[in-house]
Amino acid sequence: MAHRKIVQLAASIAVALCGAAQAQGIAIDTARGVVELPGQPQKIVVLDAAAADTLEALQAPIAGVPSQLYAGHLQDLQDKAAPVGTLFEPDYEAIAMLAPDLIIAGGRSSARVAALAGIAPAIDMTIWGEDHIGQSLARLRSYGRLTGQEARAEDLEAAFTAKLERARAAVAGRGNAMILMTNGPKVSVYGAGSRFGWLHTALDLPEAVASVDAQTHGEAVSFEFIAAADPDWLIIIDRAAAIGQGNQAAAVTLDNALVAGTTAWRRQQVVYLDAASVYVAGGGIQAMTATLEEVLAGFAAGG
Amino acid sequence: MGLLLCLLAGISLFVGASPLHPGALLSDPQALQLLAVSRIPRTAAVLLTGAAMAAAGVIMQLLVRNKFVEPGTTGTNEAAMLGLLAVTLLTPAMPLFGKMLAASASALAGTALFILLARRIPPERPLLIPLAGLVYGGVLMACASFIAIQSDLLQYLGIWMSGEFSGILAGRYELLWLAGGLALLSYFAADQFTIAGLGRAVSLNLGLRYGQVLGFGIVTVSLVSALVIVTVGMLPFVGLVVPNLVSRIMGDNLGASLPVVAGTGAGLLLLCDILGRLLRYPYEIPAGTVFGLFGAAVFLYMLLGRRAHG
């Protein structure tokens, strides 16, 4: 009973705060169409790692984030903001106690938007499907308008676009690539239509094997498949990096006679990506920039 | 049956994502390497796993005196998984062999606890035991899932839950020989297991060292399960369906039936793995998934068929 009262109280506070700023409504693009927000939020709860990443870059006032974002570069944010559940399961009471003006959900928490809207205005900022970069930059611009940091958002976008151009130039004419995710002893391959596919499409990086199905969790393949495809470059994401082994586990998994025979391995053209940046916070402007830096460094070092 | 197994193994050697023709073996050193590094280890791993799991299943069924149990329905797999998760979190740098030992110890404790539980269930209610086992396994699995969610290891846990052989190469499966060896060792105790299957009182009357046989059985079942989980992942139904199929034809004299049980387990699993490699070529469907479909159908038939007989 007590928490229902708190929710009601919080909702009325939120309504009051929104009412005060009614004068300048902000219309922003979300994953579910354009949403009209009453004004600039002063207290935001963020339930998505990519959104937290971009909002932090814009120095937005973030009051609450999930207790685990799994990304090293967001640790500062986690230390400052209050914990509000997990990426999948928001802690509704903790959020209500914070009395936010706006709740930003997305990705893993997108299914909870309706429930969250009972506490404060909630928007779904999921980045999914075609044109990953286009969507991510659109989110960046929306957040810029939302927080009154348009100039900063423009700077970030310009820096990212410049880096993207450099990366595109760096991979041009260097051969094809295959994106692999290792998980313990097993390996799956990701194609251009997958969640990591923007590395192929945005960078014009040819696929070693075309028409890999656009599956969320990749296609399980054997090491023979990698050997037969013989990619020029291997781009590796280590799913088990969360347990603090860095890329070591992935390197051990791939270090075998079959992978050793590929062009990529022989010429040491193997690029390891930070799993937190490309996987958990993928779509965040800092995370995407970091991923591009890893690609640039990898292609500069290899073969 | 030996002939059929050889035939399947032969097919398995020449099915895979890289093209390999028998003729190329004589001329092409790369083809030989592929055979030695990938195809032979994979075929051996499937055969060893199938045989050992089926043998572990039949031993478990005799010890608990119930046809509807296997390591997958008695919490053994889940206990091994908990152990694996614990060492992954506590000592991530531990080599594979150490992780296997930890998983085995945990499986051992889990199985022993289940046998204690099962003893309190009246034998005249045969379906209660597998039900209790499923609940017990579910509780253990819930603990494992909770820990995995908290540490973002749910997908890592997931790979051990669907048993498959795509990652098998020379140097990555050799511990399965140990599982195969254990199954072979259990063959020498087959007669003792058969007597133990008659119950504690009868066994003691016949002069069997019941406690020792029980202990040996638990150790065998737990070690086999843990070794299989750590190298390939969970393979449900292998230990359940195969012994039942064989026992319908050959009865419960383990001395005679154990080789057939092991051979059938190996052959069926290999068939499933070959299908998994071919159905979505060049991608793979886990052998555990293919066997799960087949096993679930047979298991349902056994449950429903039993009621029909009264």
pLDDT of residue A243: 54
With left for phi above 0 and alpha for psi between -120 and 50, is residue A218 left, alpha or beta? left
Does one domain contain both A60 and A139? Answer: yes
Q: Which residues pair with A186 in a beta bridge?
A: A183
With contacts defined as CB-CB under 8 Å, which chain A residues touch B157? none
- For the stretch A80-129, pLDDT in tens is 999 999 888 999 999 999 999 999 999 989 999 999 999 999 999 999 88
Cβ(B145)–Cβ(B154) below 8 Å: yes
For residue B3, give the 3-state DSSP assignment: helix
pLDDT of residue A247: 63
Looking at the domain assignment, is residue A23 inside a domain?
no
Domain containing A121 equals 29-149
- For the stretch B84-116, pLDDT in tens is 889 888 887 777 778 778 888 998 899 889 888
- The sheet carrying A219-221 orders its strands as A219-221, A186-190, A177-183, A233-238, A270-273
In whole angstroms, what separates CA B33 from the centre of its chain?
Answer: 29
Does one domain contain both A231 and A144? Answer: no
pLDDT of residue B2: 86
Q: Which two tokens stand for residue A204?
A: 């014009």
Does one domain contain both A121 and A178? Answer: no
Q: How high does pLDDT run on average in chain A? A: 88
- Backbone angles phi and psi of A295, in degrees to 5: -65, -45
pLDDT of residue A80: 94
Non-local (6+) Cβ contacts of A226 within 8 A are A178, A180, A187, A189, A234, A258, A259, A262
Q: Which residues pair with A271 in a beta bridge?
A: A235
Does one domain contain both A184 and A295? Answer: yes
A125 CA: distance to closest CA in chain B (Å): 22
In chain B, which residues touch A (CB < 8 A)? 16-19, 33-34, 37-38, 88-89, 92-93, 149, 151-153, 155-156, 159-160, 164, 166-167, 169-172, 277, 282-286
Q: How far apart are CA B65 and CA A271, in angstroms?
A: 55
Q: How high does pLDDT run on average in chain B? A: 88
pLDDT of residue B244: 92
Residue that wins the pLDDT comparison between A219 and A12:
A219
Lowest mean per-residue pLDDT among A241-250, A255-264, B133-142:
A241-250
Residue B232: DSSP 8-state = T
Burial of residue A80 (CB within 10 Å: 0-12, 13-18, 19+) is exposed
Helix axes B40-64, B210-231, angle to 10 degrees: 150
Residue A147 pLDDT greater than 90, yes or no? yes
With contacts defined as CB-CB under 8 Å, which chain B residues touch A227? 17-18, 34
**Is A184 close to B159, i.e. CB distance below 8 A?**
yes
Non-local (6+) Cβ contacts of A22 within 8 A are A38, A39
Residue B167: DSSP 8-state = T
B18 CA: distance to closest CA in chain A (Å): 5
Residue B144 pLDDT greater than 70, yes or no? yes
pLDDT of residue A1: 47
Antiparallel, parallel or unpaired: β A177-183 and A122-124 = unpaired
Residue that wins the pLDDT comparison between B64 and B262:
B262
Find which of B12, B14, B18, B154 to mutate to test the A interface (most A CBs within 10 Å of its CB).
Answer: B18
Residue that wins the pLDDT comparison between A230 and B100:
A230
**Is A183 close to B152, i.e. CB distance below 8 A?**
no
pLDDT of residue B98: 81
Q: Which residue among A149, A173, A203 closes a domain? A: A149
- For the stretch A254-267, pLDDT in tens is 989 999 999 999 99
Q: Is the dihedral angle over the CA atoms B121, B125, B128, B130 positive or is it negative?
A: positive
Does one domain contain both A256 and A180? Answer: yes
pLDDT of residue A215: 67
Residue A302 pLDDT greater than 90, yes or no? no
Does one domain contain both A215 and A99? Answer: no
Q: Which of B80, B93, B17, B101 is nearest to B281 (CA)?
A: B17
**Is B164 close to A257, i.e. CB distance below 8 A?**
no
Band of pLDDT at residue B281, cut at 50, 70 and 90: confident
Looking at the domain assignment, is residue A20 inside a domain?
no
pLDDT of residue A23: 47
Antiparallel, parallel or unpaired: β A26-30 and A219-221 = unpaired
Does one domain contain both A142 and A60? Answer: yes
Q: What percent of chain B has pLDDT over 70?
A: 98
**Is B156 close to A183, i.e. CB distance below 8 A?**
yes
Q: Which two tokens stand for residue A222?
A: 């054997």
Number of structural domains in chain A: 2
**Is A257 close to B33, i.e. CB distance below 8 A?**
yes
Mean pLDDT calculated for residue range B119-130 = 80
**Is B155 close to A68, i.e. CB distance below 8 A?**
no
pLDDT of residue B24: 77
Q: Which of B38, B10, B65 is nearest to B74 (CA)?
A: B65
Total-model pTM: 0.86
Looking at the domain assignment, is residue A102 inside a domain?
yes
Band of pLDDT at residue A239, cut at 50, 70 and 90: confident
Does one domain contain both A169 and A296? Answer: yes
**Is B16 close to A253, i.e. CB distance below 8 A?**
no
With contacts defined as CB-CB under 8 Å, which chain A residues touch B277? 222
Non-local (6+) Cβ contacts of A202 within 8 A are A132, A133, A164, A168
Does one domain contain both A208 and A170? Answer: yes
Residue A22 pLDDT greater than 50, yes or no? no
Find which of A69, A180, A223 to mutate to test the B interface (most B CBs within 10 Å of its CB).
Answer: A223
B39 CA: distance to closest CA in chain A (Å): 9
Looking at the domain assignment, is residue A143 inside a domain?
yes
For residue A104, give the 3-state DSSP assignment: strand
With left for phi above 0 and alpha for psi between -120 and 50, is residue A258 left, alpha or beta? alpha
Residue A246 pLDDT greater than 70, yes or no? no
Looking at the domain assignment, is residue A165 inside a domain?
yes
Cβ(A249)–Cβ(B99) below 8 Å: no
Q: Which two tokens stand for residue B310?
A: 């009264």
Burial of residue A108 (CB within 10 Å: 0-12, 13-18, 19+) is middle
Residue B309 pLDDT greater than 90, yes or no? no
Compute CA distances A252 → A171, A224, A245, B171, B187, whole Å. Answer: 26, 16, 11, 12, 37
Looking at the domain assignment, is residue A18 inside a domain?
no
**Is A240 close to B153, i.e. CB distance below 8 A?**
yes
Helix axes B40-64, B175-188, angle to 10 degrees: 40
Residue that wins the pLDDT comparison between A249 and A234:
A234
Does one domain contain both A164 and A295? Answer: yes
Q: How far apart are CA B284 and CA B34, in angstroms?
A: 18
Residue A65: DSSP 8-state = E
pLDDT of residue A19: 46
Q: Which of B134, B106, B133, B138 is nearest to B117 (CA)?
A: B133
Mean pLDDT calculated for residue range A143-170 = 96
Residue A21 pLDDT greater than 50, yes or no? no
Alpha helices in chain B (DSSP H): 2-13, 24-27, 29-34, 40-64, 76-90, 96-119, 128-150, 154-161, 175-188, 190-196, 200-205, 210-231, 238-250, 254-279, 287-308
Of B16, B160, B285, the CB nearest to A224: B16
Mean pLDDT calculated for residue range B214-218 = 90
Q: Which residue of A has its CA nearest to B37?
A: A257
pLDDT of residue A214: 66
Looking at the domain assignment, is residue A192 inside a domain?
yes
Cβ(B169)–Cβ(A223) below 8 Å: yes
We report the CATH number of the domain holding residue A240 as 3.40.50.1980
Of B38, B169, B283, the CB nearest to A221: B283
Band of pLDDT at residue A145, cut at 50, 70 and 90: very high
Tally of CB atoms within 10 A around A132: 21
pLDDT of residue B279: 92
- For the stretch B172-184, pLDDT in tens is 898 899 999 999 9
Q: What percent of chain A has pLDDT over 70?
A: 88
**Is A256 close to B37, i.e. CB distance below 8 A?**
yes
Does one domain contain both A99 and A172? Answer: no
Q: Which residue among A149, A168, A203 closes a domain? A: A149
Q: Which residue among A105, A127, A149 closes a domain? A: A149
- For the stretch A26-68, pLDDT in tens is 889 899 999 999 889 999 999 999 999 999 999 999 999 999 8
**Is A186 close to B167, i.e. CB distance below 8 A?**
yes
Q: What percent of chain B has pLDDT over 90?
A: 45
B275 CA: distance to closest CA in chain A (Å): 14
Cβ(A221)–Cβ(A188) below 8 Å: yes
pLDDT of residue B118: 84
**Is A258 close to B153, i.e. CB distance below 8 A?**
no
Residue A20 pLDDT greater than 50, yes or no? no
Antiparallel, parallel or unpaired: β A177-183 and A233-238 = parallel
**Is A222 close to B152, i.e. CB distance below 8 A?**
no
Looking at the domain assignment, is residue A5 inside a domain?
no
Residue appearing with tokens 């944010």: A77
Does one domain contain both A135 and A206? Answer: no
- Backbone angles phi and psi of A44, in degrees to 5: -115, 135
Here the ipTM equals 0.84
Residue appearing with tokens 């071919």: B278
